[in-house]
A = this chain, B = another copy of it.
C-alpha cells in the first residue's frame, strides 16, 4: 500500500466513522423525540387492556395534512357499523398542528408534525398506539408511489405491526368527506390552489390541474386574484377598461396607486396572500363590475374543465354520459355564502355535459373523511 493509498484509506475510514456517528446521533435524537412525544402512554392506567377510549375494538386515526395546517381525528373502530352509519360515529378526539407538506417544510419537520398530531389525538382520548387498528394519512405533496412508500416506511416505525397503514394525497380525504369514505366519484378543491381528483369503483384514478399558478391553475383563488391584480394594472396603464377592482384592492391593501401594486406583489412570494383578495373580486362582480364578472366566469370555466377532464378520462358518467356520480366540492372559492356563487356556477356548467352529476358539499372536514377511509380500507381487508 503506497502512502497515498494509506492516506486515502484512512480518509475513507474517517468518513465512514463520521457518517455512522451522524446516523447514531439522528437515531438517538429520534428515539428521544419519539420518547417525549409518546411519554403519555407510560402514564396511562395499566388496567386499560382494551385500547382506551375506543372500547375493545380500538380506534381509527384519520389525518388531513395540508400546507396551512394538519388535522388528526380519532374515531372508534366499530366493525358492525354500516357505511351509512359512519356519520353517527362519535369523534373521540381532534388535534391540530401546522404544515405537514414535505415539499414545503422538509421531511424531518413534516414527520415530526404528523407524529405529534397523532400523539395529541390519541392522548386526548386516552388511547395508546397499541389500540389503533388503522391509520389513514392524507397529505398534500403525495403525488408519486415513491412519496407514499417513504411515508409508509416511517409510519411503520411508529406503530405496532398489527396497525394497518394507508397513505394518500389530501384530495382523497376531501372526496371521502363527501362520500362517507367511499372512493367513487370526483372531488373539486378550489382554495388557494385547485385540483380535481376522481376514482372509479374498480380503483382507477385520475387528476386534473393541481400544477400550481405557473402551470395553469387559473380557476384557483390565486388565479382569480392574480387576474384581478392584472386588471388593475391594465386599467392603470391603458391596456384595459377601468374597473371597481382598482379602488377596492388599493384601499384593502392600503396603497395609493396602481404602480405600488408591483412592489406589493413581489415583496412576498406567498400564494395565499394573493388568494386572500378573492372576496373583493366577488364583491365587485356582485356590484355589477364587468371586469370582475368576466374573471369569475373564466374561473368557472377553468374549474369545470378540470372536472370534465377527470370525469371523461374515468368514464364516471357512463358510456352515454348519463350515469349519476358524486361531485364533492371543497375549498373557500366554492363556498356558497355569496350571491355570486362560484360553486353553483361550476355545477351549472358541469350539468350541461353530465346531467346526473350529484354535487355534494361535505358537512364534515377532510380529516373525518380520512378516518372514514381508514374504516373502509380496514373493513375491506378484514371483513370482505
Contact = CB atoms under 8 A, between A and B. Distances in A.
Chain A interface size, as a band, is: 20 to 34
A274 B309 CA distance: 26
A237 B274 contact: no
Contacts of A306: 237, 239
A234 interface: yes
Contacts of A252: none
A362 interface: no
Contacts of A143: 259, 262
Nearest to A259: B143
Contacts of A259: 143-144
This chain: copies in complex: 2
Contact of A265 (B212, B265, B313): B212
B239 A309 contact: yes
Interface in A299-330: 305-306, 308-310, 312-313
B208 A313 contact: no
A383 interface: no
A171 to B, nearest CB: 13
Interface stretch (A23-31, A40-48, A75-83, A225-233): A225-233
A380 to B, nearest CB: 28
Given A143-B259, A216-B233, A230-B215, A239 B208 contact: yes
A262 B213 CA distance: 10
A214 B218 CA distance: 12
A133 interface: no
A266 interface: yes
Contact of A216 (B144, B212, B230, B313): B230
